[in-house]
Amino acid sequence: DARVTQTPRHKVTEMGQEVTMRCQPILGHNTVFWYRQTMMQGLELLAYFRNRAPLDDSGMPKDRFSAEMPDATLATLKIQPSEPRDSAVYFCASGLVQFTGELFFGEGSRLTVL
């Protein structure tokens, strides 16, 4: 059963610490998206990749966030240093570049920054 896998599922950290979230997209998918979900802002698109190349990261605070795809089976989202306002659920989703289709979401990484 193909699925997007995200780790960790839950993370509690202190302000100023580095946080790395990982995502394993579905094998064969060539687009990867990072979204952040909060009660106030809803689902915000942070960044997305096509064939491992970043296409748009305009939704991401550049000074502290970075997103990469070291290889086709791994996407990472890093926050350094973390701040309390970064507390949210971070979702990774993957899909196919012929973009008339659906996105497949992981279960999310719930981040709490104290």
Partner 1 sequence: SQQGEEDPQALSIQEGENATMNCSYKTSINNLQWYRQNSGRGLVHLILIRSNEREKHSGRLRVTLDTSKKSSSLLITASRAADTASYFCATAQGAQKLVFGQGTRLTINP
The footprint of partner 1 (CB under 8 A) covers 4, 31, 33, 35, 42-43, 45, 48, 50, 55-56, 91, 93, 99-108
Q: Dig out the tokens for 82 from the structure.
A: 């973390």
Cα gap 62→111, rounded to integer Å: 18
Identify the CA nearest to 76 among candidates 20, 36, 3.
20
* Least distance between partner 1 and beta carbon 103 (Å): 6
Of the pair 76, 104, the CB lying nearest partner 1 is at 104
Closer Cβ to partner 1, 103 or 113, answer by number: 103
Q: Using CA atoms, how far apart are residues 68 and 77, in angstroms rounded to an integer?
A: 7
Shortest separation between residue 16's beta carbon and partner 1, angstroms: 28
CB 50, min distance to partner 1, A: 7
Q: How far is the CB of 69 from partner 1 (least distance, A)?
A: 15
Of the candidates 106, 103, 66, the residue with the CA atom closest to the CA atom of residue 90: 106
Residue number, 31 or 82, with CB nearest to partner 1: 31
CB closer to partner 1, 58 vs 62: 58
The backbone torsions φ and ψ at residue 35, rounded to the nearest 5 degrees and listed phi first, read -125, 155
Task: Look at the chain and count its residues.
Answer: 114
